[in-house]
Chains A and B, each alone.
Chain A
Amino acid sequence: MNPDTAESMPLSRVQHLVPAAAVLALALIVAWVSFTREPSEAFLFPRMIASVMLLLALWNFIRASLGLARVGDGLTRKGVGAITPGLCVIVLLVYVAARYLGFYSASWLAFLSIYSLYDPASHTLFAVWVKRVLITTAFLSVIYALFSLLLQVQTPRGLFI
């Protein structure tokens, strides 16, 4: 039986093979940890799951190797190019800026950066930047009111809040 249905989109074999290999590698690690770590009672259920996962990952990998896997629309070079700046901003916010600037300040910067990076409006117009800053500030004010004032969530502080 062919487990993939025909709604599949054509996608290169390499694009299927790489993630299938990654999932297989993960399944191998999970199985290895489950069957080697002690106490064995704590890994009874993980062993059951790891075995099934390994079998399925192997099946998935074989299908990908034989070119039988067809589901998915894959990544395009253009798409990756578009995603990268925004994703870098998010990663910088989470791992660096939140710690040194404070959660709210970093979020303010991240919102403004993502908005500006992907906004089709001209970057050279002063009015456009004023609009961006106002929208960013308004949104973060609502977030502050909801999380800090209403729900009393304590966020990490750095140089600022």
Chain B
Amino acid sequence: MEFLQHFGGVFEPLSFMLLLGGTIGGLILGATPGLSPTMAVALLIPFTFQLPATQGLILLGAAYTATVAGGAVSAILLKIPGAPANIATSLDGHAMASTGRGTQALHVSFLASGVGGVVGVLLLIFLTPVLSRWALAFGPSHLFWMAILGVTVIGSLDSRSFVKGLLSGCLGLWLSMIGYDDIQGAQRFIFHDSLTGGVNIITALIGIFAIPQVIEMLARGRCEHKVSTVSVHRQSLLESLKLLLANGRALSIGTFVGSIIGLIPGVGGQIAGLLAYDQTRKFSNDPDSFGKGNPAGVIAAESANNAMVGPSLVPLLTLSIPGSPTAAVLLGGLLIHGIFPGSDLFDNYPDVAWTFINSMLIGQILMVIFGIWVASHAARVAHVPPPIMAAAVTILALFGSYSVQQSMGDVYIMLALGVGMYLLEKVGFSAAPLVLGLILGPIAEANFIQGSMIANAMNGPAEYFLSGTLNLLLLILVLASIGWSFFSTHLANRRARNLSNTAEVSLES
């Protein structure tokens, strides 16, 4: 219980002010399309130069936590995920906002983020030594299977068409391979100068989610718009709390999946929300309601992406291995203060390490409070007329994509992907599987290549990729996920056929 001795450090005036500032700033930055948690933390690093190490880390930790949760605001209200971690949130969150439950969606999103986040940080506090050993057990073959498991989710993420879901995922995987190959340095699929640096995930996210929304608003034409794109009415926090508790299964799945995914170095928190969303849908009694405004989808996604924050720091603080891109930036923040993370971090710098971790715990609570306050003001966004909303989202998308690498090439890519996605959506393709493919592509490829190299030096790929308890467990999960996707699609088709038969019979009678 050493961490309890360092709680006082969090409430020192400067520390608490930074925690507060980091949380509020993080929520705003997270809600801004194009500003990912990684970028927000990177932007804040120069501000920590002049601060003592503990305070600097408190600021970075608060920003990390709040930006992950803040991304839900734009995901729910504008259907533009603030970060890849919020993709799954936008699926049901925006549908809830479109049907007058915007405040409720924001409430449950922040409450679920808070629960997931607290559990994640508690895991960080109590299980760091055990979890760090477990995290080390993941080699290239396991990470490859993890990525493939993520790919299998693709098919079931698109509830409308299994084929088009998988095809969207393949398009995403192909997009992730554009640019220079990391190992050989060979040019791949560079059909235009703008593609030289590859397709940046943030740029792609903005294009794929924001531009189709804008075009959809434009498609309504120049007419009197009585109904805004989303409607956010005042809703009781108590009702939202009851809703959260009623969806305990989604909350548990989200928190569990997020904690496990966060712990695995390299997989990244981006897929935690999507995996939790998919698992919640598979275990739900009403899977068809997902994507149409089921709060369980928001709860699972948001609890997962905040639950991964704490565990993603376990390999960083104990083994110097960043669990996510943001953790890698945090590692930079530690190093500039002369702190080298490792197994002796808690012996050499107990005040820095424990105060930082404690601040993340308090930060989760502050994030929930300020998030709910944001939700109460979100109604203003809902009252913006569609022409202004369309123009504002366009400009935000342009600036957001440009600011990622300060390149016009990214703006071209964003616009091309956006228009292409709009056309594909019109014929039944979905954005979520495409983005998941884009995220998982580099992880799957890097570990496949690394695994193949190791396998060649050993007894061949079959033994390397298909032996060992963890490999077999992941393989079984992959097969089960594919089987379930086929089975659930088959069930949905049968249900639909029965419904249409019943309708025909009743019409004839």
Contact = CB atoms under 8 A, between A and B. Distances in A.
A72 B428 contact: yes
Contact of A45 (B412, B449, B489, B493): B449
A52 interface: yes
Contacts of B402: 103, 153, 155
Given A82-B220, A143-B399, A53 B394 contact: no
A9 B80 CA distance: 25
Nearest 9 A/B pairs, CB to CB: A6-B496, A71-B428, A72-B428, A82-B221, A42-B186, A118-B387, A53-B170, A42-B184, A86-B218
A5 B427 contact: no
Interface stretch (B49-57, B173-181, B247-255, B306-314): B173-181
B347 interface: no
B188 to A, nearest CB: 6
B177 A45 contact: yes
B204 to A, nearest CB: 16
A151 B44 CA distance: 10
Given A39-B186, A71-B164, A153-B406, A5 B391 contact: no
30 contacts: A1-B489, A7-B496, A11-B427, A15-B427, A19-B427, A30-B174, A44-B449, A44-B452, A45-B444, A50-B174, A52-B166, A53-B174, A60-B163, A69-B428, A71-B164, A72-B428, A74-B426, A82-B220, A87-B218, A87-B419, A91-B415, A94-B411, A95-B412, A110-B395, A111-B392, A117-B222, A139-B392, A143-B396, A151-B43, A156-B408
A149 interface: no
Given A57-B167, A111-B391, A82 B181 contact: no
Contacts of A53: 167, 170-171, 173-174
Nearest to B225: A120
Interface in A79-116: 79, 81-83, 86-87, 90-91, 93-95, 98-99, 103, 107, 110-112, 114-115
B161 A5 contact: yes
B507 interface: no
B386 interface: yes
A119 B387 contact: yes
B395 A140 contact: yes
Contacts of B225: 120
B493 A118 contact: no
B337 interface: no
Interface in A17-55: 19-20, 23, 26-27, 30, 33, 37-39, 41-46, 49-50, 52-53
A160 interface: no
B249 to A, nearest CB: 24
Interface residues of B, number: 75
Nearest to A123: B222
B426 A72 contact: yes
Contact of B493 (A5, A60, A120): A5
Interface in B143-166: 159-164, 166
A114 B186 contact: no
Contact of A30 (B189, B221, B490): B189
B160 A4 contact: yes
Contacts of A91: 415
A72 B391 contact: no
B219 interface: yes
A90 B395 CA distance: 9
A71 B399 contact: no
B163 A56 contact: yes
Interface in B186-200: 186, 188-189
* Interface residue SS majority, chain A: helix
Contact of A87 (B171, B215, B406, B411): B215
B394 to A, nearest CB: 6
B390 interface: yes
A63 B398 contact: no
B399 A107 contact: yes
B427 A110 contact: no
Nearest to A9: B428
B178 to A, nearest CB: 10
Nearest to A91: B415
A124 interface: no
A69 B167 CA distance: 14
B463 interface: no
Nearest to A56: B167
Interface string B372-415: 00000000000001111011101110110011001010011001
Q: Which of A16, A41, A71 has the largest count of B CB atoms less than 10 A from its CB? A: A71
A96 B388 CA distance: 23
A98 B497 CA distance: 53
Contacts of A56: 163, 166-167, 170
B189 A42 contact: no
A5 B183 contact: no
B223 interface: yes
A2 B170 CA distance: 20
A82 B219 contact: yes
A135 interface: yes
